[in-house]
Amino acid sequence: MATQLRNVNDGGEAILQALRNLDIDYVMSSPGSEWGPVWEALARQQVDGRDGPTYLSCWHETLAVDLAIGYTAVTGRMQAVLLHAGAGLLQGSMGIHAAALTGTPMVIMSGEALSYGEDREFDPGRQWFTSLSVVGGPHRLVEPLVKFANQASSPSTLYEQVVRAGELAQRSPSGPTYLSVPIENMMHEWTPPAKMRKAPPAPKTRASDADIEAVAALVAAAKNPVISTESAGGSADGYAALLSLAEALSIPVVEGMVAGVCNFPKDHPLHLGFGPQPALKEADLVLVVKNRVPWYPPSDCPAVAKVVVIDDDPIKDQMVYQSLQADLYLEGDVPTTLRLLEAAVAGAGLDKSAAAERRARAAAAHDALWKANRAAEAASAGKGPIDPAWLCAELSRVLPDDTVYVDETTTHRRFVQSHLQHKGPLSYFSVPSGLGQGLGFGLGVKLANPDRPVVTVIGDGAFLYNPVVQSLGFAKQAKLPTLIVVFNNQGYNAMRNNQLSYYPEGTGKQHNLFLGHTIDAPEYSDLVAPFGGWGRRVEDPADLESAINEGMAAVAEGRTAILNVVIGR
């Protein structure tokens, strides 16, 4: 087993070759002592000038996982994450949960030891005996969060087990997979397979022609159809297919309460806003397109509407409760399904007069909503304290049209949805799962978009949940400058609001005691200085435009920028 002094193929090379054959671009890692064999293989790759994944040392486990999520969200390409033992796996588990919620394919590995110093030829280190090992294996820690969790059980199977984990991650329903890799197996000599193959891409599935024709007949007959979506725009292809279907059939679009991406142009006359909208209540047919939670409470669906769910994975096994109220399913690749449905409705015969009428109704409703949002911005323009609606409007006006926004706001999400004008597919991403992931997600988006400005909008409370030092340090190290805009309402307003909703006339309200609300905050804009970044605090509305421009100038110079905007609500 003792290969550490010999330059031979071992388990580290097996892992790296598997990642090459899975077409992995990056190995994102918060380094742990078990990964010496992989680092050695990466060193040989560099010295030999071989193609293969680039290694990124990420300073923190949550950062490593979120970097992979953000990168895959833009590119659609699965990445690999190496964590440290069970401890690192636990540290990165919030990001792993986010990957599960969003169906982000990812191969995650961490190490373990099997011999605990009893093998006289190889000592993995006493830390595995004293503190790092997990009874039953570290895969037990993440089984609820991943599609597949297992141990790489032998040196002979290690290579194929990594390849299989990658192929499983990409199969519908896509999501993260996990392998625990014993150090002893990585140190063992490895013989490459006689037949070395590139792993093929996962095939796309599609709904049957009969099901598509049945839904086409419903659409053709409907008077008030509505599309409800959360993540149809998760790819440029999905965005284009949804836009084409809605325009061809004159069907208005409502984006979900927790829309995770830009699904449809906000300025389009068929866009009717976010969350519960009158159009849904009045609908006689709802096309639920990649939307896990189209209504809340979950049983509060339109009373008379037929509900058709269009999704590659409609019934989410990672959700504790889900009630789509579906009458029919079109299950398969969503862009393909939308294009086939559009063609089938054309073949079934669309009532053009009815379509024109509903398009006119939708345009009038959109117009009223659009004017109300612009009026809210105008009413608060230039006034102090800075209003979040106007802040979003100013960001939209001043920042370049090709800006990509990453959103980790909570109480301000409704302002971002209504007033921040991102443009085109893959121009907006909201951070899933728990707070504390926005900075890493934003850096992953920047890694995938090196030539586009990336702006992370984030609440002050959410900012504090993030691994801030690690994210700022990694951004400098990896040359990934972004603009971070802190929506600073000087407290955890979500906590205060929840206490009031539970106890509207309670002791907290009577005595102004909201113990979960207080943030004794640092000056956020100062935190970037040790990393050569730019920071500025803004309270006066007159300073906002110049501050945004200064921040973007710093980003153009390759420096991370933090704009701390104090807002009034």
Distance of CA 373 to the CA centre of its chain: 27
Whole-structure pTM over 0.85, yes or no? yes
Residue 516 or 11, more confident: 11
The model's confidence at residue 7, banded by pLDDT at 50, 70 and 90, is: low
105-126 burial by CB neighbour count: b if 16+ within 10 A, else e?
bbbbbbbbbebeeeeeebebee
pLDDT at 212 over 60: yes
The mean pLDDT of 444-472, rounded to a whole number, is: 98
pLDDT at 276 over 90: no
- The mean pLDDT of the chain is 95
> Measured between alpha carbons, how far is 387 from 40 in angstroms, rounded to an integer?
53
3-state per-residue secondary structure call for 326-341? CCEEEECCHHHHHHHH
Give per-residue pLDDT as tens, 72-122.
999 999 999 999 999 999 999 999 999 999 999 999 999 998 878 888 888
Domain boundaries, the chain: 11-187, 209-364, 381-566
pLDDT at 234 over 90: yes
Give per-residue pLDDT as tens, 215-224.
999 999 999 9
Taking Cα atoms as reference points, which of 159, 165, 181, 174 lies closest to residue 80? 165
Whole-number pLDDT of residue 6: 55
Q: Which residues contact 24 (CB under 8 A, 6 or more apart)?
A: 53, 78, 79, 80, 107, 166
- E strands in 387-474: 404-408, 428-430, 454-459
pLDDT at 1 over 70: no
Whole-number pLDDT of residue 123: 85
Note whether 11-187 and 209-364 share their fold.
yes
Taking Cα atoms as reference points, which of 123, 128, 96 lies closest to residue 112? 128
Q: Is residue 411 a contact partner of residue 493, using CB atoms and an 8 Å limit?
A: yes
Taking Cα atoms as reference points, which of 74, 84, 65 lies closest to residue 128? 84
Query: Percentage of residues in the chain with pLDDT exceeding 70?
Result: 99
Give per-residue pLDDT as tens, 148-192.
999 999 999 999 999 999 999 999 999 999 999 999 999 999 999
pLDDT at 428 over 60: yes
pLDDT at 4 over 60: no
Whole-number pLDDT of residue 3: 45
Query: Percentage of residues in the chain with pLDDT exceeding 90?
Result: 84
pLDDT at 416 over 80: yes
Whole-number pLDDT of residue 272: 97
The mean pLDDT of 44-56, rounded to a whole number, is: 96
Whole-number pLDDT of residue 129: 82
Give per-residue pLDDT as tens, 387-411.
999 999 999 999 999 999 999 999 9
Query: Domain spanning 381-566: which superfamily?
Result: Thiamin diphosphate (ThDP)-binding fold, Pyr/PP domains (3.40.50.970)
Q: Give me the CATH code for the 209-364 domain, please.
A: 3.40.50.1220
Specify the CATH number for 11-187; select among 3.20.20.330, 3.40.50.970, 3.40.50.300, 3.30.70.100.
Answer: 3.40.50.970
